[in-house]
Chains A and B, each alone.
Chain A
Amino acid sequence: MSTTLKYQEKALKLVGTRPLRPDGVDKVTGRARFGADYNLSGQLIGKVLRSPHAHARIKSIDTSAALALPGVKAVVTREDFAEMPDELAAVGELTINFRDVTRNMMAREKALYDGHPVAAVAATTESVAKHALALIKVDYEVLPHVIDVVEAMQPGAPLLHENQYTQGVKPRPERASNVAKRLEFGRGDVAAGFAAADVIVEREFSTKPVHQGYIEPQACLASYSADGQAELWTSTQGHFVFRAQCAKVLQMEVAKIRVTPTEIGGGFGGKNNIYNEALAIALSRKSNHPVKMVMTREEVFRGTGPTPGANVKVKLGATRDGKITAAEAELNFQAGAFPGSPVNQASMCAFTRYDLENVRVVGNDVTVNRPKVAAYRAPGAPIAVFGVESVIDEMAKKLGLDPIEFRLKNAAKEGTQTYYGPKLGVIGYIQTLEAARAHPHYSAALGPNQGRGVATGFWFNIGNETTCSLNVQEDGSLTLNLGTIDVAGGSRASMAMMVAEELGIAYERVRPIVGDTSTLGFNFLTAGSRSTFASGMASVIASRQVIEKLRQRVAKIREVPLEAVAWKDGQALPADASAAQFAPMSLTEIARMAGKTGGTIAGHAEINAQGAGPGFGTHIVDVEVDRQTGAVKIVRYTVVQDVGKAIHPAYVEGQMQGGAAQGIGWALNEEYVYGDDGVLQNPGFLDYRIPVASDLPRIDTVIVEVPNPNHPYGVRGCGEVPIIAPMAAIANAIENATGLRLTQQPFSPPRVLQALDAAAAAKG
């Protein structure tokens, strides 16, 4: 049954404070164990052979020489994995086409991108494993490839999947296409809206794929035992989902796989799906040894999902007094080698910040010879918003309006009808715009060659299946066993704070851990900004269950009616003066007697959390453009965001700063560079430049708190929203500094310099 707990305003003691995180000491002292830190005696090292071609038919694979090499214990290829039907299947909460999953994990008929796994080896050492890879003979028939999304949509483009016909088009197309799916959202009469406009702005944009850039490469250790059971230690955003996926592709019972999540060095959506995990279990099953697999950074770039590159067209019409009359967008997203880009969510996010009568958004999900894309914070939204917020900025300028004022004139609010479905509930978009306008940053003086930009973002936030247990230990301390991965954002601290707040005890008395898959029922991924919302709701339910049991126990011990027992500040005490009176009992006292008064006390929750509250943010950025080199420096950056309620403000600020930092990298430098041969040319951090601390100023944060009515503490979520606006805000700031409207991401020095030179040449 779905669960929602309504918001209750109350005085808070812990929620909203900034205690130290429970995983902090281990992380700063180097004790924390990440994926690659796990080892078992007798383990082998697994390595993957990857396609050197962007598109090739695999005619044969000869592993005999590799298997004959001393030290090689097992080799797996496409022959070792069952064929899966071409149908969408729900695994946990994820809907996945397992025909694609098996083919992405290990190529079958064709290699579909540079880096596509073709075989995997387990050997006694890494050097032996690498030697063995070199001995595997793969006979490829190289095929024409396509990596550009617009080219891939053209008739006659090289086809990745000969049986792929565009969904969402009537009548069903007669020819196969790289366009896997077409979506169209809308409301009103767009043509009439544009006819009513005094000013129309229309632009086309392009973005490149960028990687999530987590600092810890994928790493796992698998051990398959002779009785058909497997254990897996892995760096993941969802150990229950990984278990489900491994069980499906290896055709094992779910309960026979136990997954223990390691500490995770970042994921941002890139660790939502398996890559090496099922290979490691398969190699362990075949070799009868534990198998450890750790990706290199090159493998991470070539083999795991970036976010899509895209082609985006935006058209906006408005009256002279600043009312938007019509909005239209076409979003063409690279899905990578298999369908499933986030174009649907990008389409739904494109214009939702605005109260619009006439809207039309068309999205196309397009397969290309690149790695299958994966989620990346607010999947797809930053790409759509780059185009839309750039056009919004240009429109404001044409109308002579302040960019925040123009947004306020058209801002979505409670009751606004979205073009994708429901009306918006209680939201804080206008509050973020007003807070940004009032911030000293917005009125500060700019220096030479500097410009200021503003942009805004929206994300739905989600809930979904969530589990936890709360055990009262015999000394009155508590262990909170969570099913939701703490992706290093500090969510364990937030859950412990809510438990301590509910029970009225010190935060330090609650020890939150993330349990393995055998200790709790299914728990969805840490994704969609759901953790603190959904796991927080579950933790509150478990806490209230514990309090109820504590009251019941005290009623029996003190021999008073249950209604005479209240719970306050960590102890049971008489409900009021008229109730039966008894000597109060602290949590510690009750816990010490628990074993002799009925047994240990615990609470638990297995919920499908609903009622997530949408999040909105407004970003302000100042840039300085070096006209000699084209380099863009971020001079000042401010993030304003409605998070509902910041349980632990420092970690919320960290999310806001982290999202902005990643967005800045996306805007200024990050891009996949492919050669004409379809081979990735920059699979490493030397040539794929993410921002480092010296590239960034201190990112200021303003937390806006408009409580979500469907969470006991008002939580909305905060991880997705802050990455949405930076690309557009920076583009707008560059335009403000130079007069140049950049429409191709990244705004790297060569591209900015080229634009400056072209503008100078045009002036003569």
Chain B
Amino acid sequence: MARITLASSLAPYTDGELELRLEVANVRQLFQALGERFPELQAHLETGIAVAIDNEIYQDALLQPIARDSEVILIEKIAGG
């Protein structure tokens, strides 16, 4: 199972739970699983979250594969000027 870590800024939406393991094959499945587990996180998942898969940051990449032994970190989405 992939090791999932949420940025500490997301703690208010997960009752403080920031680390878990999930059987997911891509980002879409990850977001779906997290949304079901943490309903308050749902709105953030849809609009304001990027993921780092094995330390590579992906934005708006729902179909990006996640390997079984991947380390996935959810972070705030990044924009710019």
Contacts and interface: CB of A to CB of B under 8 A. Distances in A.
Contact of B81 (A95, A167, A377): A377
A268 B81 contact: yes
Nearest to A363: B9
Contacts of B9: 168, 183-185, 344, 347, 420
B30 interface: no
B44 to A, nearest CB: 9
Given A168-B9, A610-B58, A610-B61, A421 B52 contact: yes
A342 B81 CA distance: 10
A215 interface: no
A300 to B, nearest CB: 16
B47 A528 contact: no
A471 interface: no
Nearest to A267: B81
Contact of B12 (A93, A169, A186): A169
A345 B60 CA distance: 17
Interface in A1-41: 1-2, 4
Contacts of B77: 95
Interface in B33-67: 43, 46-48, 52, 55-61, 63-64
Nearest to A380: B81
Contacts of B79: 94, 342, 345, 375, 379, 462, 527-528
Interface residues of A, number: 58
A88 B12 contact: no
A2 B61 contact: yes
Given A375-B80, A375-B81, A422 B57 contact: yes
Contacts of B5: 421
A168 B55 CA distance: 25
Contacts of A424: 55
Contacts of B56: 4, 422, 425, 610-611, 710
> What does DSSP make chain A's interface, helix, strand, loop or mixed?
loop
Contacts of A376: 81
A269 B59 contact: no
The residue in B48, B55, B56, B78 that gathers the most chain A C-beta atoms within 10 A of its C-beta is B78
Nearest to A90: B47
A325 interface: no
Interface in A452-507: 459-465
Nearest to B80: A528
Given A527-B80, A530-B80, A421 B47 contact: no
Contacts of B12: 167-170
The residue in B43, B57, B79 that gathers the most chain A C-beta atoms within 10 A of its C-beta is B79
Nearest to A530: B80
A735 interface: no
A396 interface: no
Contacts of B8: 184-187, 419
Contact of B76 (A2, A88, A344, A720): A344
B55 to A, nearest CB: 4
Contact of B80 (A2, A167, A421, A462): A462
A269 B60 contact: no
A608 B61 contact: yes
A180 to B, nearest CB: 13
Contacts of B57: 421-422, 460, 610, 612
Interface string A308-345: 00000000000000000000000000000000001011
A422 B55 contact: yes
Interface in A325-379: 342, 344-345, 347-348, 375-379
Interface residues of B, number: 31
A720 B80 contact: yes
> What does DSSP make chain B's interface, helix, strand, loop or mixed?
mixed
A423 interface: yes
Interface string A259-291: 000000000110010000000000000000000
Given A2-B58, A88-B43, A169-B12, A462 B78 contact: yes
Given A420-B76, A463-B59, A269 B81 contact: yes
Given A527-B81, A610-B57, A348 B76 contact: yes
Contacts of B59: 93, 462-464, 608, 610
B1 interface: no
Interface string A155-191: 0000000000001111000000000000111110000
Contacts of B11: 184
A345 B47 contact: no
B46 A90 contact: yes
Nearest to B75: A421
A592 B56 CA distance: 44
Given A170-B12, A421-B75, A422-B75, A459 B80 contact: yes
Contacts of B80: 269, 345, 375, 378-379, 459-462, 527-530, 720
A95 B49 CA distance: 10
A485 B9 CA distance: 33
A377 B81 CA distance: 4
Interface string A607-648: 010111000000000000000000000000000000000000
A380 to B, nearest CB: 9
Contacts of A423: 55
B60 to A, nearest CB: 6
B7 interface: yes
Contacts of B15: 170
Interface in A398-456: 419-425
Nearest to A269: B81
Given A2-B58, A2-B61, A344-B76, A421 B81 contact: no
A95 B76 contact: no
Given A378-B81, A422-B55, A720-B80, A464 B75 contact: no
Contacts of B64: 2, 610
Given A95-B48, A425-B55, A420 B75 contact: yes
B67 to A, nearest CB: 15
Given A379-B79, A420-B9, 17 more contacts: A88-B43, A88-B48, A168-B12, A183-B9, A185-B9, A186-B8, A187-B8, A272-B81, A344-B76, A348-B78, A379-B81, A421-B73, A422-B75, A423-B55, A462-B59, A527-B80, A612-B57
Interface of B: 5, 7-9, 11-13, 15, 43, 46-48, 52, 55-61, 63-64, 73-81
8 nearest A-B residue pairs (beta carbon):
A528-B80, A269-B81, A422-B52, A421-B75, A375-B81, A95-B47, A2-B61, A421-B73
30 contacts: A1-B63, A2-B58, A88-B47, A88-B48, A95-B47, A95-B48, A168-B13, A170-B12, A170-B15, A184-B8, A184-B9, A185-B7, A185-B8, A186-B8, A212-B81, A269-B81, A344-B76, A345-B80, A348-B76, A420-B76, A421-B52, A421-B57, A422-B75, A463-B59, A527-B79, A527-B81, A608-B59, A610-B56, A610-B59, A719-B81
Interface of A: 1-2, 4, 87-90, 93-95, 167-170, 183-187, 212, 268-269, 272, 342, 344-345, 347-348, 375-379, 419-425, 459-465, 527-530, 608, 610-612, 710, 719-720
